[in-house]
Amino acid sequence: MTDSDLIPDETFDYVIVGAGSAGCVLANRLTANPSIRVLLLEAGGSDKRQEITIPAAFSKLFKSEADWNYQTTPQPGLAGRSIYWPRGKVLGGSSSLNAMMWVIGFAADYDRWAELAGPAWSWSSLQPLFDGTLIPVEEQRDPRPHTRSLLEGFQQAGYALEDANLAEPDGFTLTRVTQHRGARVNANQAYLRPIAGRKNLEVRTGARATRVRFEGTRATGVDYRHGGRMRSVIARAEVILAGGAVNTPQLLLLSGIGDPKELKKHGIPVVAASPEVGRNMRDHLVSLLVKQSDPGTLFSAESPAQIANYLFRRRGMLTSNVAETYGFVRSDPSLATPDLEIIGAPASYVKEGLAGIPGHGISLGPILLQPESRGTVTLRTSDPFEAPIIDPGYFTDPDGRDRERMLAGLEICDRIFATVALRSRTTDHYVAPEGSEKLSPTERWLFALEQLSHTLYHPTSTARMGSDESSVVDSQLRVRGVSGLRVADASVMPEIVRGHTHAPATVIGEKAAQLITDTAPAQLAPRS
């Protein structure tokens, strides 16, 4: 394909690639100025489907048309398994597929961002943006009695109960969810639907970006496929990438920004040498123990009574986000702050969520909050429609501390299962690892670690921001080595937060909008 094959498009001030947690925010905030015209490109389609609206149905979206449906390379630390990575390919992005957990993380995590990327990213600077988000965050509508037993079990195991989203969390809580009256609210519903009448915003779905266009080192627009044809659009001010920690580095590389050696291998001309594009990946790994329980869990969520309860009252099991409770613990009591999260669900969550719920059960699992292992996103080919190579590098840290901490977390989960509150709800039978009550505890934990661990769907840091020259973007989220190009999504996190990524990704979008608005008057020359 040559440039002459492209269908020329109209001109916009800003072109945003990706209508996920950050992209929807940017489209809303930038078009509050009626003189600024914005085009938002989304590779996926509409979010108007029941599985998105009904909270407990999110795993039914896995491997659907709303999912990029990625697979990692085989992971030696996980018995050579390739791990399934769902990512939202739909309006709202992964906020349309996630478990709706609004878990901000620790204030200290954002202060660490400030150390690495400047004071604009400190907790004191970002807290007002968390408070001002348009995403509704509510208490659960109808948590299961089994979740109450989990909270009692946490206490009996020696852990405190506390409110959600404290600045320094150190205990367990009921999950606060991104819902309104028992239905999911994604980024599209919160930020785009209320402004559907704005004439200065155009949202194009089914629009797959293939390259950022440059004149020299200035980004001037985007090439994309839409309606079966290749098109181009001009950005007068900036192109903003908001495709997430997989798609953003892939698009940067396809556009000539990355490690020159990798670009040369794929025949891509170098626009800017930036070797860290696609590197430094961090992800939250979770491993689960599941015990058979008495009835009343989400195994019954699709019964006629529960469907009617949801449709007519917006109550019952279908309002569940599945992971109804969580808390922060230490793998080693001597640690100053928690390094693990323990997640609890009144459901048998097995086989990466792809096989349905096999029976009544309770799931408990540790999450490694700040892994020392690093992963990569690299190009498979120069074909923009080929999925990139995703290698999370689970358990590749040289001293093995990631593995040790996860094993400690599994031991904590079994200790919680041994409390009176949980013994009254569960049998001795392990649904996962199946039949492992016949194994020694150490054997069970090792099996769970290697055979059952999977992503918690939080990849970050593949286009990290920083004050150092080797960072991919600077403190203003501008891509180094070029002009007219920014990144605003989870890929810019210099380090992964000890929380979940939807909340900080939303706030990254809010902060990016502020940064752009502050400089927009100087960037935009009058239209001729």
Whether 337 and 290 share a structural domain: yes
What per-residue confidence (pLDDT) applies to 528? 39
319 & 331 share domain: yes
Residue 520 pLDDT level (bands cut at 50, 70, 90): low
Q: What's the whole-number mean pLDDT along residues 387-404? A: 98
pLDDT value, residue 432: 97
Same domain as 124, residue 45: yes
Phi, psi of 387 (to 5 degrees): -65, 145
Q: Could you tell me if residue 93 is inside a domain?
A: yes
Range of the domain at 324: 141-174+285-368+395-452
Q: Contact at 8 Å (CB) between 249 and 463? A: yes
Span 344-384, pLDDT tens digits = 999 999 999 999 999 999 999 999 999 999 999 999 999 99
Residue 34's Cβ-side half-sphere holds a number of Cα atoms within 13 Å equal to 3
In this prediction, residue 400 carries a pLDDT of 97
Single residue among 429, 452, 475 that ends a domain in this structure: 452
CA–CA dist 36, 200 (Å, integer): 7
Same domain for 296 and 245? no
Please tell me the distance from the alpha carbon of residue 42 to that of residue 17, in angstroms, as a whole number: 7
- Whether 273 shows a pLDDT value over 60: the answer reads yes
Average pLDDT over residues 109-132: 98
How many domains does the chain contain in total? 2
Distance CA 391, CA 381 (A): 15
On whether both 201 and 317 belong to a single domain, the answer is no
User: Per-residue pLDDT tens for 206-244?
Assistant: 999 999 999 999 999 999 999 999 999 999 999 999 999
Q: Residue 313's pLDDT is what? A: 96
pTM over 0.85: yes
Q: H or E element: which one contains 149?
A: helix 145-156
Query: Is residue 122 in a domain?
Result: yes
Task: Mark whether 467 and 445 lie in a shared domain.
Answer: no
pLDDT given at position 5: 65
Provide the pLDDT for residue 524.
58
Q: Are residues 109 and 209 in the same domain?
A: yes
The overall average pLDDT reported for the chain is: 96
Q: Which residues are catalytic?
A: 458
In a domain, 240, yes or no: yes
**Chain-centre distance for alpha carbon 381:** 25
Position 67 in a domain: no
User: How would you class 304 by CB atoms within 10 Å of its CB: exposed for 0-12, middle for 13-18, buried for 19 or more?
Assistant: exposed
Query: Residues 245-257: what's their mean pLDDT?
Result: 98
Phi-psi sector, 505: left (phi>0), alpha (psi -120 to 50), beta: alpha
pLDDT of 519 reads 81
Whether 73 is covered by a domain: the verdict is no
For the stretch 175-211, pLDDT in tens is 999 999 999 999 999 999 999 999 999 999 999 999 9
- Does residue 21 belong to any structural domain of this protein? yes
- Give per-residue pLDDT as tens, 432-467: 999 999 999 999 999 999 999 999 999 999 999 999
Q: Is residue 378 part of a domain?
A: no
Regarding whether 249 and 202 lie in a shared domain, the answer is yes
Residue 409 and residue 305 share a domain: yes
Question: Which domain CATH number covers 331?
Answer: 3.30.410.40
Residues 150 and 273 in one domain: no
What pLDDT score does 75 carry?
Answer: 98
Kindly state whether residues 37 and 96 are assigned to the same domain.
Answer: yes
Q: Which CATH number belongs to the domain containing residue 246 in this structure? A: 3.50.50.60
Given 452, 474, 492, which residue is the final one in a domain?
Answer: 452
Please tell me the predicted confidence (pLDDT) of residue 527. Answer: 47
All residues at 6 or more sequence positions from 397 whose CB lies less than 8 Å from its CB, including other chains: 371, 372, 373
Q: Which residues of 77-111 are buried (b: 16+ CB within 10 A; e: fewer)?
A: bbeebebbbbbbbbbbbbbbbbbbbbbbbbbebbb
Last residue of a domain, one of 435, 452, 469: 452
Distance between CA atoms of residues 251 and 68, nearest Å: 15
Among the ranges given (1-15, 170-184, 337-351), the one the predictor scored with the smallest mean pLDDT:
1-15
Residue 414: inside a domain, yes or no? Answer: yes
d(CA 308, CA 412): 38
Residues of the chain with pLDDT > 90, as a percent, come to 96
Q: Are residues 33 and 44 in the same domain?
A: yes
Integer CA distances (angstroms), 264 to 257, 259, 379, 515, in order? 11, 9, 11, 34
